[in-house]
Every structure is written in C-alpha cells, then in structure tokens.
Amino acid sequence: MFDLIVRHCSLPDGRRDTDIGVQQGRIAAVQTALPASAAQELDAQGQLVSPPFVDAHFHMDSALSYGQPRINQSGTLLEGIALWGELKPHLTQEAIAERALRYCDWAVAKGLLAIRSHVDVCDPRLLAVEALLQVREQVKPYLDLQLVAFPQDGVLRSPGALTQLKRALDMGVDVVGGIPHFERTMADGAESVRILCELAADKGLRVDMHCDESDDPLSRHIETLAYQANRLGLHGRVAGSHLTSMHSMDNYYVSKLLPLIKEAGVAAIANPLINITLQGRHDSYPKRRGMTRVPEMLAAGIDVAFGHDCVMDPWYSLGSGDMLEVAHMGLHVAQMTGQAAMRQCFDAVTTTPARILGLEGYGLDVGCHADFVLLQARDPVEAVRLRATRLAVVRRGQLIAQTPPQTASLMLPNRPSSTDWQLRMPDGHM
Ligand code: FE2
C-alpha cells in the first residue's frame, strides 16, 4: 500500500508509461503497471514527470524590489548599481524576508524547489543575512534554500567585509562566496580567491564565486580558483559563477584552462538571461554574446548549470522564477540545438545544479525524496520549447502546487470550431 501513486508518467530518461509509488515521503517504486493501490492516485496521462527544478545562482535579497525606490529607466548595469545604492539604506529585515517569501511562492508554483542564493555580507548590520536565514527555516518544508556569503563590494576592497563574511558563516550561511574580478588589482583578486578557498577548506564548506563577470579576456580568476580548489582538495565542492570573460579569451589559453577546471572538479554556472543582457553591452558591432563556453565545457566533462541570477530587481526588470525560461535562453545563446545538447539544457536546470548544491536524495530513483513536477509536455525538449505548464508540484509526497493545463479554443472560419490549441504536434508524430 502506497501513500501516492502517479500513473502513466514519461520520465526524462525516455521511459514511458511508468508508475511512481510513494511511501512516507520517499519514492518506493518506479515501474510499469505497478500492481498496488494507494491512498491517492494521480494520472499523468503520458506527460513528463521530472525531478524539481534547481536554481544554482540567485540573489534573493534583491529579488522583487523592482520599482524601489524607482524604476531602472535605462535598463543598464550602471543605473542598477546606483539604484541598489539608493535602496540599501532603506532596507529592513522584514521587507527583505517578505519579498523573499513571495519569491519562494512563485518558485514553488513553477516547480523550483531548491535555490542557491547569494546574500550580500557587505552591510555591517547583516540585515539580509538575518532575513534570509529566517526565510530558509520558514520554507524548509517545501523548498531547499542554500545561502552563499557574498561580499558584493569585494572581500579585500570593502573594509570589514572579511570579518562580516566570517560572521555570516558562523550564523549559519552555507557556502563561501567571492568576487575576485571586483577587487582593485588582479593580484588582490587572486589573493581573495586564496583566502576564501582556505576559509572554506578549514570549515568544510562549499565555494561559489562570482568569477570573471566581465568582457575582459585577461580576467583569469577562474584559473586561480581551479588551482586553489586542486591544491586544497576541494574537488566537487567549488563553482565558478558567470565566467563570462571566457567568451572573449584567447582560444589557445582556453585549451589549457579547460583541463585544469576539469581536473580541479570545479563546476561552472552560467546565467543566460543576465549574461545576454549585460555582456558585450558596450561593444559596437559585431556584438559579443558574452555567455561562457557552455558546450565546450560540457564536452570537457565539466558540470555546467544555468542560473536565474535576478528576478525583478535593480539589475533585471523581468523574470518569473521559471527555470525553463532560463534553459530556453541558455539553449539559444549557446546555440545548443543538437538533440543531446537540448537535453543537456534541461539537465542544466535540474540534475546538474542538484549535484553542484550537493542536494541529498534528489532524483527519481527508488529511495529518493518524493519531490517531482508533472509538466504539460511529453519530454524535456518539449518542456523547454513550451516553458511547459507545471500541472502538479509534489514535495515529500504531498501535492503543494497545481496549475490548470494550458488550452485555448479557436473559433475560425473554415476550421472545425472546437480545436484545442496546445502548441503541440499530434501524438505519434515525433
Ligand atoms: Fe550573481
């Protein structure tokens, strides 16, 4: 006897007509025609059941602050930075927590059940840290929030930042952050990477740095990050976020860099929506795309995830917590239109970031947490194409969100009048 059975699922690995049985919040069976009953049954009707979406790179302390104190009229990074400066003195712990909780609601509705969020530690009051630690506890039953101590103004450049970063870790922040390209010199950048990686090694923590988020081909802090990860034995625990300078680097240098990143077990996190809007912005034509070398890193065996980075904040006025929108943009910007490559874009917002975050019990195997999303799509590529509706979101075996299927009725001359419009090829066509 199961608590829940979801029947007739398609799975991301291509299995069809599979039943998933859930017992006590865990997946207890995955097989065709499960000969059992359950307190609750759900018919997937051949649609895709995926493990939940995971966002490996986000800023929850600024999310949904759009319009406060005013709207970014130019849409540029510089006006965004100025805006954040204007807003900072007026921030309160309650307001940050309230916005974060609202964003977590959006995330759950979109089947996004794990988020790694950077939190600015350069404010000596550590208001955002307090707020997001409180939110992390509050959302724990339905969403895994992992926090990164992020010295937004530079751990060496900003007075007191290292002390505040250590305080944030002592308060319970999970991951060590950094921003080497924002330090005053290349040497300071490299030194910040050394200090922060040693701190993480001492404390047994993971590392995730904003690294080389620029168009400068000589911004090579990823090399130092990989070197330090290797030296300190941090394999599998370090991520470099953005890495946009790699887009502009010399090809010979990159051919030497990729094996170093792979050897060090360092993962990469690209943020397609933000990279394509910010990078190459000051170029004349031709304009660089600026996103890091995703297919090349994947080919070298490096884990690459896609993050959302920002949603409705001073830097980005759009976004909705939809990781399929992120995958869709990543696919286009990286020109990953091959069959296997499109699948990799789906993995970049599900299984790969789950590995980078070190999520326990993630997946659709027997023994994993019963966390999954029923999508209005038949396979991962269709899910990306349609930014498919999340028909049902399940956490620990409990239904926590539902959205009605997308349909439209057409009333057209010379066409049957009741055609359902689902933007899908007929069954059996593909
Ligand atoms: Fe970021």
Model pLDDT, residue 420: 65
Closest CA to 43 of 4, 2, 90, 91: 4
Count helices and strands in the chain by DSSP H and E runs = 13, 16
Model pLDDT, residue 343: 98
Closest CA to 210 of 262, 255, 275: 275
Residue 213 appears among annotated catalytic residues: yes
Annotated active-site residue in 213, 223, 325, 382: 213
Q: pLDDT per position in the chain (430 positions), as tens? A: 899 999 999 999 999 999 999 999 999 999 999 999 999 999 999 999 999 999 999 999 999 999 998 999 998 888 888 898 899 888 999 999 999 999 999 999 999 999 999 999 999 999 999 999 999 999 999 999 999 999 999 999 999 999 999 999 999 999 999 999 999 999 999 999 999 999 999 999 999 999 999 999 999 999 999 999 999 999 999 999 999 999 999 999 999 999 999 999 999 999 999 999 999 999 999 999 999 999 999 999 999 999 999 999 999 999 999 999 999 999 999 999 999 999 999 999 999 999 999 999 999 999 999 999 999 999 999 999 999 999 999 999 999 999 999 988 888 888 776 666 677 777 655 4
* Angle, helices 221-231/186-203, rounded to nearest 10 degrees: 30
CA–centroid distance for 285 within its chain? 31
Å from CA of 364 to ligand 1 middle: 29
Model pLDDT, residue 419: 62
Tell me what percent of the chain is helix, strand and coil, each rounded to the nearest 5: 35, 20, 45
Model pLDDT, residue 116: 98
> Angle at Cα 305 formed by Cα 387 and Cα 105, nearest 5°?
50
CA distances from 404 to 320, 408, 409 (A): 18, 12, 15
Å from CA of 26 to ligand 1 middle: 33
Model pLDDT, residue 417: 63
pLDDT in tens, 211-241: 999 999 999 999 999 999 999 999 999 999 9
Compute φ and ψ for 375, nearest 5 degrees: -105, 150
Model pLDDT, residue 76: 85
Model pLDDT, residue 223: 98
Q: Distance (Å, rounded) from C-alpha 276 to C-alpha 57?
A: 16
pLDDT in tens, 75-94: 888 888 889 889 988 899 99
Q: Distance (Å, rounded) from C-alpha 377 to C-alpha 384?
A: 9
Å from CA of 382 to ligand 1 middle: 28
Q: Distance (Å, rounded) from C-alpha 146 to C-alpha 174?
A: 6
Model pLDDT, residue 407: 87
Report which residue type is found at 94.
E
**Residue 186 parent element (H or E):** helix 186-203
Provide the whole-model pTM: 0.97
CA–centroid distance for 148 within its chain? 13
Model pLDDT, residue 89: 87
SS3 355: helix
CA distances from 405 to 46, 102, 263 (A): 14, 23, 45
Residues whose CB is less than 8 angstroms from the CB of residue 123 and which lie 6 or more positions away in sequence, other chains included: 88, 91, 164
Model pLDDT, residue 95: 96
273 and 308 in contact (C-beta within 8 Å)?
yes
Kindly give the residue spans of alpha helices, DSSP state H, lying in 31-92: 77-87
Query: What is residue 216's DSSP assignment?
Result: -
SS3 404: coil
Å from CA of 309 to ligand 1 middle: 5
Model pLDDT, residue 424: 75
Å from CA of 250 to ligand 1 middle: 25
Report which residue type is found at 147.
L
Strand ranges (DSSP E) for 132-264?
144-150, 175-178, 206-211, 238-242
Å from CA of 344 to ligand 1 middle: 22
Å from CA of 356 to ligand 1 middle: 16
